[in-house]
Amino acid sequence: MGVNHPQRPPADGAADDAARIEIKGLTKRYLTPKGETFTAIRDVTVTVEPGQFCSIVGPTGCGKSTTLAQVSGLEKPSAGSVKVGSHIVDGITSGVSYMFQADALFPWKTVLGNVMMGPVLVGTPKREATALARDWLRRVGLAGFEDRYPHQLSGGMRKRVAMAAALINNPRILLMDEPFGALDVQTKAIMQNELLKLWEELRPSVLFITHDLDEAVALSDRVVIMTSSPGSVKDVFDVDLPRPRGNVQEIRHEERFLDLQGRIWESLKDEVTRAYQRTAGAAA
Amino acid sequence: MTAVAQSNSRNGNKEQALEVKAPAKNAHGRRTMWIWVGRAVLAIAVVGGWQWFTEEGWVDKFFFGQPSMIWDSLVKLFTEGTAFGTIWENLWVTVQEAFYGFLLGTLVGVVLGILLGSNRYLSAVIGPYIRIVNSIPRIVLGSIFIVAFGLGVFPKVLLAAVLVFFVVFFNAFQGVREVDQNLVANVRVLGASPLQVATHVTIPSAMTWIIASLHTAFGFAIIGALVAEVLGAQKGIGLIISQAQGTFDPNTVFACMVIIAVITLAAEYLISLLEHSLLKWRPPNRSEAQAI
């Protein structure tokens, strides 16, 4: 399509290191407490182009989160490799931010303190970090809430704080593990629009895990369907809906969207049924 | 028209709010009053009953003391002092011992608890020994400390610290284990060093557990100091107790208990203040708000 990505502002020296994510033959096995090996993901190969928004969709327990953990460098792959930019991931990948379903906010820090964590951890002087955090709180619409504690905020507001905290360091890569999974439908739509807006400004590469196919299609450039245990890539769909996407609630009614959504659902359906039968069988 | 309707409804709301508020306040006041009445009745029944039973001779006041005589010996302790100097001197010694023991025990407990909690190898190596030491009757260590370090303040501090240590240690250890792994993953991805993970995540998160243990820990510090003094000392409330025991004077023993109880309550209050200032980020606990 020849999309001309807007130039990313420099981020802490790592700016020109293009954040292409290449996952090649990635396999991760765990040792269960009983001493058996359990293969969470097998031979996963996915490529995320710099500045691309890529969603991973799959049935419960198909190793989506495991894949993210390997990309972030929190865990080491059993086989295969993850390459970020020109570096093979070994240890914590620099320039990555994580967003979880449970908002990983520090309950003992104020909203400002939470957002400041990113810059503080990379050694930004406190005054600059504070100014930056205030600016980010304004951008996510939380100016005036700086001194609140997380438990004093609503679920949607906590998500905004988590989003500001994840984006403040201007990450090359944003890893999102069902970030909006626990939100109600209306709040979810608002947060999706908010995320798209911020992403279009910063253009990090995004790996976005979700169960919600609509969400995946509405937000992404690429949707990866995973099979269940052991997780592996079943299909990859490129979503060529024009950007900026605008309101995610309206895009859902467009014909192109419905067409794509239908095709992807065809692929996902079998997996979901299979995974369900297996867990139902195990439960019986 | 609408403005009038609005102002009407607003007035209505205000009246309604007042109507609801006033009875609620009254109900609250009545409830508090009855609680205090109940407390007073309970105290009078227990202390009065004690006084009555011993007065009538159903319970021997020679062994079990008598409230009025306990009061007399309290007055005597504060006016005439003891064989070992004024009560203030002795109290000061005991409080100091308990306080230093509390500090030492807490410090070592927190440091070791966090260290072992965050290091699997260390906890695997040292864990069993801590459990073994925990299972021995530690109060007996007092005898050894006194033989080894004499009758001064140091062995008392040591015994108090040993008792405090285990309470604080186990809580700090558990607190570190309960840290939200999402938070740890989050700061690690953001580039935190192990030290930063400890200062930003592990320690603040374990703080809830540690502070909860401090309430119990101060009680143990006092027990440690007192027992060590009973075992052998030149000054202190424990020595007064031990001497009163030798002269068959239960009233003085009870008087000393009253004094120590006041000290412990005061310390408890200070710890609560510390708790409130350190844990002000916590959501108000419903049961906490309504209890007592």
Secondary structure of chain A as H, E, C letters = CCCCCCCCCCCCCCCCCCCCEEEEEEEEEEECCCCCEEEEEEEEEEEECCCCEEEEECCCCCCHHHHHHHHHCCCCCCEEEEEECCEECCCCCCCEEEECCCCCCCCCCCHHHHHHHHHHHCCCCHHHHHHHHHHHHHHCCCCCCCCCCHHHCCHHHHHHHHHHHHHCCCCCEEEEECCCCCCCHHHHHHHHHHHHHHHHHHCCEEEEEECCHHHHHHHCCEEEEECCCCECEEEEEECCCCCCCCCHHHHCCCHHHHHHHHHHHHHHHHHHHHHHHHHHHHHC
Do A148 and A185 sit in the same domain of this protein? Answer: no
Across the interface, do A106 and B188 touch by the CB < 8 Å criterion? no
DSSP code, position B285: P
In-domain check, residue A224: yes
CA dist., res. B195 & res. A267, Å (int): 46
Is B42's pLDDT higher than 60? yes
Residue type, B45: A
In-domain check, residue A103: no
Average pLDDT over residues B215-241: 91
Select the highest-mean-pLDDT range: A110-114, A122-126, B131-135: A110-114
Token pair recorded at residue B154: 């140091």
Token pair recorded at residue B79: 């006016």
Is B292's pLDDT higher than 60? no
Buried b / exposed e along B244-276 (16+ C-beta atoms within 10 A):
beeeebbbbbbbbeebbeebbeebeeebeeebe
Closest alpha carbon to A176 in A250, A253, A71, A105: A71
Average pLDDT over residues A207-223: 89
Is A7's pLDDT higher than 50? no
CA dist., res. B163 & res. B172, Å (int): 15
Give the helix/strand (H/E) hosting B279.
Answer: none
CA dist., res. B33 & res. A230, Å (int): 66
Residue B15: predicted pLDDT: 57
Please list every residue in chain B whose beta carbon sits closer than 8 Å to the beta carbon of residue A11: none
Sketch the domain layout of chain B as residue ranges. Answer: 2-59, 67-290
Residue A241: predicted pLDDT: 84
In the sheet that A96-99 helps form, which strands lie side by side, from edge to edge? A96-99, A173-177, A205-210, A53-57, A222-226, A233-238
Across the interface, do A106 and B189 touch by the CB < 8 Å criterion? no
**Bridge partner list, A229:** none
Residue B14: predicted pLDDT: 55
Do A186 and A165 sit in the same domain of this protein? Answer: no
Average pLDDT over residues A11-37: 74
In-domain check, residue A166: yes
Residue B46: half-sphere exposure toward Cβ, Cα within 13 Å: 5
Residue B35: predicted pLDDT: 94
Average pLDDT value for chain A: 84
Residue A6: predicted pLDDT: 41
Is B257's pLDDT higher than 90? yes
N- to C-terminal Cα distance for chain A? 50
In three-state secondary structure terms, B85 is strand
Angle value at C-alpha A123, between A122 and A128, nearest 5 degrees: 110
Q: Which fold has domain B67-290?
A: MetI-like fold (1.10.3720)
Across the interface, do A97 and B189 touch by the CB < 8 Å criterion? yes
In-domain check, residue A7: no
Residue B289: predicted pLDDT: 44
CA dist., res. A63 & res. B116, Å (int): 32
Token pair recorded at residue B220: 């143990």
Residue type, A125: P
Please list every residue in chain A whose beta carbon sits closer than 8 Å to the beta carbon of residue B186: 98, 100, 104
In-domain check, residue A150: yes
If one compares B105 and A37, the residue with the highest pLDDT of the two is B105
A interface with B, Cβ–Cβ < 8 A, is 72-74, 92-94, 96-98, 100, 102, 104, 106-110, 117-118, 121-122, 149, 151-152, 169, 175
In-domain check, residue A198: yes
Minimum Cα–Cα distance from A105: chain B residue: B183
CA dist., res. A119 & res. A132, Å (int): 8
Minimum Cα–Cα distance from B279: chain A residue: A108
Give the helix/strand (H/E) hosting B269.
Answer: helix B250-278
Do A39 and A81 sit in the same domain of this protein? Answer: yes
Residue B285: predicted pLDDT: 59
- Cβ proximity of B223 and B156 under 8 Å: no
Domain residues for the domain of A133 are 108-170
B74-97 pLDDT, tens per residue? 999 998 888 888 889 999 999 999
Q: What percent of chain A has pLDDT over 90?
A: 14
Across the interface, do A149 and B205 touch by the CB < 8 Å criterion? no
Do A143 and A211 sit in the same domain of this protein? Answer: no
Do A193 and A121 sit in the same domain of this protein? Answer: no
The count of domains in chain A is 2
B190, B191, B281 ranked by CB distance to A108: nearest: B281
Closest alpha carbon to B138 in B122, B158, B115: B158
Average pLDDT over residues A258-279: 84
Is A121's pLDDT higher than 70? yes
Residue A18: predicted pLDDT: 54
Do A80 and A200 sit in the same domain of this protein? Answer: yes
Is A17's pLDDT higher than 70? no
B151-204 pLDDT, tens per residue? 888 999 999 999 999 999 999 998 888 888 888 888 888 888 888 888 888 888
Do A90 and A117 sit in the same domain of this protein? Answer: no
Is A13's pLDDT higher than 70? no
Closest alpha carbon to B110 in B221, B206, B223, B222: B206
Please report, for the domain that includes residue A211, its CATH number: 3.40.50.300
- Cβ proximity of A236 and A223 under 8 Å: yes
Give the distance from residue A50's alpha carbon to the nearest chain B alpha carbon, in angstroms.
Answer: 19
Residue B93: predicted pLDDT: 92
- Cβ proximity of A41 and A72 under 8 Å: no
Do A276 and A181 sit in the same domain of this protein? Answer: yes
Average pLDDT value for chain B: 86
CA dist., res. A173 & res. A82, Å (int): 13
Residue A14: predicted pLDDT: 42
Extract the runs of DSSP E, i.e. beta strands, from chain B: none
Do A83 and A191 sit in the same domain of this protein? Answer: yes
Across the interface, do A121 and B190 touch by the CB < 8 Å criterion? yes
Is A226's pLDDT higher than 80? yes
Is A134's pLDDT higher than 90? yes
CB neighbours of B126 closer than 8 A, spacing ≥ 6? B116
In-domain check, residue A4: no
Residue B28: predicted pLDDT: 85
Residue A232: predicted pLDDT: 85
Is B2's pLDDT higher than 60? no
Residue A282: predicted pLDDT: 59
In three-state secondary structure terms, B82 is strand
CA dist., res. B200 & res. A103, Å (int): 17
- Cβ proximity of A178 and A209 under 8 Å: yes
Distances (CA, A) of B16 to B6, B22, B23, B203: 15, 10, 12, 48
- Cβ proximity of B55 and B66 under 8 Å: yes
Do A34 and A153 sit in the same domain of this protein? Answer: no
- Residues A250, A255, A260, A264, Cα dihedral to 10°: 80
CA dist., res. B231 & res. B145, Å (int): 10
Closest alpha carbon to A62 in A89, A34, A42: A42
Confidence of residue B103 (pLDDT cuts 50, 70, 90): very high
Residue A281: predicted pLDDT: 64
Query: At which residue do the structure tokens 């001779």 appear?
Result: B57
Q: What percent of chain B has pLDDT over 90?
A: 42
Please list every residue in chain B whose beta carbon sits closer than 8 Å to the beta carbon of residue A126: none
Residue A1: predicted pLDDT: 39
Q: Is the CB of residue B13 less than 8 Å away from at least one CB of chain A?
A: no
Residue B95: predicted pLDDT: 94
CA dist., res. B212 & res. B271, Å (int): 9
Do A274 and A233 sit in the same domain of this protein? Answer: yes
Do A87 and A220 sit in the same domain of this protein? Answer: yes
Closest alpha carbon to A176 in A134, A205, A133: A205
Residue B275: predicted pLDDT: 87
Residue B267: predicted pLDDT: 92
Please list every residue in chain A whose beta carbon sits closer than 8 Å to the beta carbon of residue B192: 121
Angle value at C-alpha B12, between B10 and B13, nearest 5 degrees: 65
In-domain check, residue A74: yes
pTM for this prediction: 0.74
